Amino acid sequence: MCPICIEPQNRTADSEFLLLGLSGDPELQPLLFGLFLSMYLVIMLGNLLIILAVMSDSHLYTPMYFFLSNLSLADISISTTTIPKMLVNLQTHSKSITYAGCLTQVTFFSLFACLESLLLAVLAYDRLVAICKTLHYLVIMSPRLCGLLVLLSFSISLLDSQLHYLMVSQLSFCADVEIPHFFCDPSQLFNLACSDTSTNDILIYFIGAIFGGVPLSGILFSYYRIVSSILRIPSAGSKYKAFSTCGSHLSVVCLLYGTGLGVYLSSAVSSSPRKDAVASVMYTVVTPMLNPFIYSLRNRDIKSALCNSALWRMIRRIV
C-alpha cells in the first residue's frame, strides 16, 4: 500500500499521471517522434483511401466492403486514441496526462479495440455466407442486416468501454503515478492502484474472455464451416478462388490476434512493463497501418477504385 492516496472523486482536471513512453533516452525522442508520426500518417491516409474508395465506387456497394470501411474507421479511431498524445509528449518533452484524459483513453481504446474484434467476426460471417450460401448471399446479407450487425457491434463495444471506465474510475491512485506505457492501459492502471484490485483483476479477465473470446470463437467456427465447404468442391481452380476471397481477412485476423496473444504471453513470461509497451505497438499501431495494404494489394476492385478516386489523383499530382 502506498502512503498517500487520492480518491478518484477528489481529483480535479489538473490532476496528472505520467506516461513514461517507450524509452526514457532523450536522444531517441526525435527518432521516435518521426517514426510514429510517419506511421500515423500512413494509417490515416491508407484507411481514409479505403473508406473513400468504398463510398465513391458503386461496384463496392456490397456487404463485405461496407464492413471493411467500418473496420478502417475503427483502425483510424484506435490509433487516434493513443498516437497523437504520445506525439505531443515527445515533441514537448512532457510525460503528463490528466486524470480525465487517462479515463478518456481507457474508454475509447476499449471501445474501438472491441469494435475491431467484433467487425472481424462479422466479416468472417460475411465470408461464410458468401461461400456456403452463395446463391442466397444478397438475400441473407441484406442492407438491413448489415446495418444491424454494425449497430450491434458498436453497442456491444460501447458496453465493454463503459465497463472498463467504471472499473478504472473506482480505483484510488498514489499522488505520483508513473505509467510505464505510451497510453493509459487498464492493466497497468490496476497494477499502480492503491486500492484493492483483486475483484477488478477477475473482472478484466472475464470481460476479455467474453468480448474477445466470443468473437474469436465465431471467427474460428466460421472458418471451420468455410474450409469444410471448400474441401467438398471438386475443382481445384474453384477451391483456390474460394480460398483467395478469405485470404485478406484471414491475414488481418492472424495479425491482430497473433500480436495480441504475443503481448499477453510476453507479459506472462516477462515482468518488464516497458517491454509490454513496446509489444503493444504491434496491435495499436502496426496492425491498423498494415490492414489497408492487406485488403488492397490483392484486391482488384479496391485497387481500381483507389486509382479512380479523386483523392488519389490529387495525391499523384502533388507527388
- Domain CATH for 268: 1.20.1070.10
Residue 140 lies in a domain: yes
Residue 174 lies in a domain: yes
Q: Which domain holds residue 248?
A: 15-318
240 within a domain of the structure (yes/no): yes
Please report whether residue 36 resides in a domain.
yes
**Residue 91 in domain:** yes
What local confidence, expressed as pLDDT, does residue 169 receive? Answer: 86
pLDDT of residue 268: 54
pTM, rounded to two decimals: 0.86
Residues of the chain with pLDDT below 70 are 1-15, 174-176, 262-275, 297-298, 301, 303-319
**pLDDT confidence of residue 156:** 95
Q: Does residue 8 fall inside a structural domain?
A: no
Q: Which residues of 126-137 are buried (b: 16+ CB within 10 A; e: fewer)?
A: bbbbbbbeeeeb
Q: What is the pLDDT of residue 165?
A: 92
pLDDT of residue 318: 59
Residue 10 lies in a domain: no
The total number of structural domains that make up the chain: 1
Question: What confidence score (pLDDT) does residue 85 get?
Answer: 92
| 3 in any annotated domain | no
